[in-house]
Structure 1
């Protein structure tokens, strides 16, 4: 773990320690409280936190930190991965005690010790306090993200498939092909290609992954498009986690077809709204808007160059 002696002391009622997989439910309670405070609802699922803690390359003993109050409840947490990506959350009931700035200092020190030269963190644009803190520490936005939604008051009508293309529900055994389609599509803008294991943590390996509400597009017996859906307990909404179409089959209406199929599946499943996230590097915002989706909220990825990075040992 980063030497906490290098940071200013926390108030005496708090204690710190690394996170473990068994802490996921407690951390999710913290995250859910933050969402309710900011959004008026909970959107995340416990498996979001579990996926964070299981990220390949994340050493929980050194790369995570929990702050607990005098009752042992999680008041804040942070993680740093690969010296370049981070996350910080502070429970609404513990804001104003300096935990956010203290955890941000910890992420930077941990990133430097991991050899990181630049650190990034995603923050909701509506979280003015978090945005102000990051900006005061020299962070600047470099990618913008949008959550879009569409109401499903009536059963959507899916478009007719293009010639030679068929659509069916996701089946066991489709995982590796879906991974290849999705990562090939995202290679155009992502910094690095995810391993299958890392990708699966966020998609088909999640407890909330809903294969019956997901679809694949086939042409010539090969998968050429995929949309992967989540059904988060208690949210009342459908969520599209991934949408990808193979490059040589784009501009044929396959993305529109897949989304129409999924919107219909969610409607039949009793969902009245479907949401998804996209960001400024994909260029997909206009596609979703043409399908009738509208922006519900926005967030940004903030980054900062780190001075004094320490080359990792080994």
Structure 2
């Protein structure tokens, strides 16, 4: 053991190039990992897209054991060169653009597969931007196949958008304290139709209402009587010129009535009033919601693909 709670690899991985070392991740590493991920995103997309609060939420997920499920690769000066985590059937890998082409990506991929297999996993999925051709080629040659496509959509907000009234019998107001459990139930019920597993409340809250960037004012919720039937949950990172919608959900028996359109435009209007120039959100092919967002005037900024492969047992 080195430091407070930091576990260094007992054996140096065969794939780790000379001059690098690796260890598990600690909460104190969030800023360094954010620096790494932001550098990767700027090189690939021309802008930073992932906030430090999202990375902190990833590392705080229930069930993630940082000492065994995370790996941070450091260069000779102690700077972050690569990063990976594995939890269940999902993994994430990033390599700093200044350290690409040295085998760190393929090594971290091997580490995620080995860790998942040892934990009893039978398959593993990773998301890669479609503009990252090197990572895409690595996954394809490693036996991964396409699972779903994800799109980052955006809408410019040069003027305050019109907000249509809600359907008859529906009231809309901003999210407020006390709405958490109803929003959790609503969004997880809606996402059950396509997500691989249901999140417990603690995990859901870490990724939504407990994030420092959660913005209740831009998170309208809809009610039929005292029942929440629709919600848009939004984030607003300080210093950013755009807002972000984290969750959109409408209860099944209230769909196709224009409620999602009303809620989203309400969120867009709030962001415009706060001086944001645009708003973004992610969706993927499993939800079937792309056409809805396009009808609202949103366009695809870029796309990613979730790749998956079966893991051979030892």
TM-score range, shorter chain: over 0.9
1:183 aligns with 2:188: yes
> Which residue, out of 11, 17, 23, partners 1:17?
23
Q: Which residue of the partner structure matches residue 278 of structure 1?
A: 283
SS at match of 1:188: coil
Task: List gaps (5 residues or longer) in structure 2.
Answer: 1-6
Aligned CA distance change for structure 1 residues 3 and 20 (closer, same or farther; 3 Å): closer
CA contact under 8 A between 1:2 and 1:110: conserved in structure 2? no
CA distances 1:188-217 after superposition (whole Å, capped 9, x unpaired):
111111001111111111111111111101
CA distances 1:12-41 after superposition (whole Å, capped 9, x unpaired):
211110001111111111010111010101
CA distances 1:208-254 after superposition (whole Å, capped 9, x unpaired):
11111111011112211000001122321110000000111111111
TM-score (norm 1): 0.95
1:246 aligns with 2:247: no
Deviating above 4 A after TM superposition, structure 1's stretches of 4 or more consecutive aligned residues are 1-7
Q: Distance in 2 between matches of 1:68 and 1:224?
A: 47
Q: Which residue of the partner structure matches residue 300 of structure 1?
A: 305
CA contact under 8 A between 1:45 and 1:233: conserved in structure 2? no
CA contact under 8 A between 2:40 and 2:95: conserved in structure 1? yes
Q: Distance in 2 between matches of 1:308 and 1:221?
A: 50
Task: List gaps (5 residues or longer) in structure 1.
Answer: 310-314
Q: Which residue of the partner structure matches residue 312 of structure 1?
A: none
CA distances 1:168-202 after superposition (whole Å, capped 9, x unpaired):
11101111110011001111111111001111111
CA contact under 8 A between 2:9 and 2:23: conserved in structure 1? no
SS at match of 1:266: helix
TM-score (norm 2): 0.95
CA contact under 8 A between 2:232 and 2:249: conserved in structure 1? yes
Aligned CA distance change for structure 1 residues 9 and 264 (closer, same or farther; 3 Å): closer
1:216 aligns with 2:221: yes
CA contact under 8 A between 1:143 and 1:280: conserved in structure 2? yes
1:3 shift after superposition? 7.2
1:143-162 matches, within 5 Å, as 143-162=148-167
1:6-45 matches, within 5 Å, as 7-45=13-51
CA contact under 8 A between 1:90 and 1:100: conserved in structure 2? yes
CA contact under 8 A between 1:63 and 1:79: conserved in structure 2? yes
Q: Distance in 2 between matches of 1:6 and 1:85?
A: 24
> Which residue, out of 256, 269, 274, partners 1:269?
274
Q: Distance in 2 between matches of 1:67 and 1:7?
A: 11
Cα-Cα RMSD: 1.4
SS at match of 1:163: coil
CA contact under 8 A between 1:7 and 1:105: conserved in structure 2? no
Aligned CA distance change for structure 1 residues 248 and 2 (closer, same or farther; 3 Å): farther
